Structure 1
Amino acid sequence: MADLSVNIGELKMKNPVMTASGTFGYGEEFQDFINIERIGGIIVKGTTLHKREGNPYPRMAETPSGMLNAVGLQNKGAKYFADHIYPRIKGLDTNIIVNVSGSAIDDYVETAEIINELDNISAIELNISCPNVKEGGMAFGVTTTGAHNVVKAVREAYKKTLIVKLSPNVTDIAEIARSAEDSGADSVSLINTLLGMAIDAERRRPLLSTITGGLSGPAVKPIALRMVWQVANAVKIPVIGMGGIMDWKDAIEFILAGASAIQVGTANFIDPTTTIKVEEGINDYLERHKIKSIKEIVGALEV
C-alpha cells in the first residue's frame, strides 16, 4: 500500500478520509456497515453548549444532484455529549473530532472548554456559519472581523488542534481563511453548505419549514473545488476539502487542488460504505501512478 498518512496540525491521521459533520452521527450508527476505525477521522454531529431541538419538519429536501437540509443543529448539548456519548466512542482507534457551534462567542468558548477536557477527542471543528445573535443574526464567518473574534476567543480556550469550517456564502473566502489562520486556526475546512431553497409548485409552498436551507451533494462540487484551490493558495495551514465528494476520483481532485484531507458528507446517506471505498480508491490511484505518499499530490494541480 501507498503511504496515506497525513498531518493536520498536530493531528495524525492514518489516511485523509474524514466524515462531514451531521452526515455520520457519532460513528456508532455506521458500525453495522463498515469498520469505522479504517477512517482517518470522524467528525461528529454539530454540538452546542445547550440542548437544541432543531427546526420544525420538513427539514430535508432532495434537489437535482443534491439535497437541502435545515436540521438546525439538533443535539442534546455539550455536557450530555461529554457524559453520555463520549464514554461510548472514546475507545475507537481513529480521530474523533467534535463540530462546535454557537450563537454567541461565549457559547463557543464554553463548549470548547468542555470538549478540551476529553482526552480522546483529537480536535474540534469550529462551525462559524452560525448566526451571531448579538449582531442581528449575521453569521460569524461572513466577515473577517466576525471570523477573527470567534476563532481568537476559542483558540485561547482550546489547547488541541483547531479546525475552522468556512462558509461559502461570502464574497472572498480566501480573505476569511486568512483571518482564521491569523487568529490561531491550525487548519480550515471547506465548504459548508450553500444557501438554497426549493418550492412545491402545486402547493405553492417551500419544501423546507425554514424556507431556505443548506445545499450539499454533487451540485456544489465545482464551487467547492474552486474555493479549496483559492484557499490553499492563500494560507499556509492545511486545508480540508469537502463538497459533493461521492467517490475516490472526487477526493483526488480536491487533493490536487490543495486539500491535505477530505470529508465525505451527503454520499454517506446514499451508500454508507462510501468512506471505505474512497480510501481504497485513493490507494489504488497512488499505486497506479507509482506515487509513494499521498503528500506528493497535495496541491499538485498543474496550471
Structure 2
Amino acid sequence: MFVHYKSAEVEGIRLFYREAGKAGAPVVLLLHGFPSSSHMYRNLIPELASDYRVIAPDYPGFGNSDQPSSEAFDYTFDRLAELIGAFAETLGLDRYSIYVHDYGAPVGFRLAVKHPERIQAIVSQNGNAYEEGLLPSWAPIRAYWSDPADETNRNNMLGLLAPAFTKLQYVEGTRNPERVSPDAWNQDQFVLDRPGNADIQLALFYDYRNNLKQYPVWQEYFRTHRPPALIAWGQRDMFFGPDGALAYRRDLPDAEVHLLNTGHFPLEEDLALSAALIKRFLGEHVR
C-alpha cells in the first residue's frame, strides 16, 4: 500500500500530511506530539493502510507544514485543534478514530469534545489526560508557567530544544537504544533549528498549562460518551508515567490498557506490538 505525501491549504496555511488506504475505508487520524511530526508514523501507516484510510497531518511549525510566525498565528492548543478540525472538514472527514500521542492528546480531545459524534474510537499512546500522569520531570515547565519572564526558566525551556534533549526523548526508557533510528530525532531537530521555531515551541510550552484546566472537560466527555479506547502506553516515559494510563479506567471502565516496556515513543521500539494491538482493537470497534 503506497503512502501519499500531500498538502492542504487550511485558513491560508499549508498543512502537510501523509495518507494511505482506500478512500471508502474507516478513517484513522494520527495526531503527533512534541517535538515530532507525521514522520513518527512512517512505519505505522503501512501497517494500518490495508484496512483503514490513514491520515497524519503536521501541525503548523512542525514537520513539513508551513511555519507562520508567532505574530501571524496564535500558537495555542485551542488554535491547533481549531486548525486540525478545519483540516478534517476540508478533507471531508465526518467520522474517524483518533490516535493521540503527547501533544496529539490536547489536540484530539478538543476535537472529540467539540464533535463527539465524529469520534469512532480513541487510541492513546502516551497521550495524557490526567494530573497523575505528569511526572516530576515537569517541574521546570511548571516553573516556566509561573514566571515565563524569568531568565533561568526561559533558558531551561530552550534547553528542551537542544539536540541532546531531542535524542534523549527517543532513547530514554528504551530497552535497546541502538534499535531507535537517529533519523527520528535528526528530522525533529532540523525543524526545531529553523529560525523562529524556538518562539513557537516556547509559546506552546507556556500554553500547555491550559491543557491541565481542560482535563475535567475531557474526562466528562469520556464518562458521557464512552468512546472505545485503547491505551497502549510506554511505561518508562520520562514525562508521562503509567499512572496516567491507568487513570483512564476511572472514566472509561471498559478501556483496554497495556503498559509497554519502553519509553516516550513506543512506535520506535515496539512497532509490531503496537500495530497488532491497534489493528485488533479497531477491528473489534470500528465498522
Task: Judging by fraction of residues, say which structure has more helix.
Answer: 2
TM-score range, shorter chain: 0.3 to 0.5
TM-score with structure 1 setting the length = 0.33
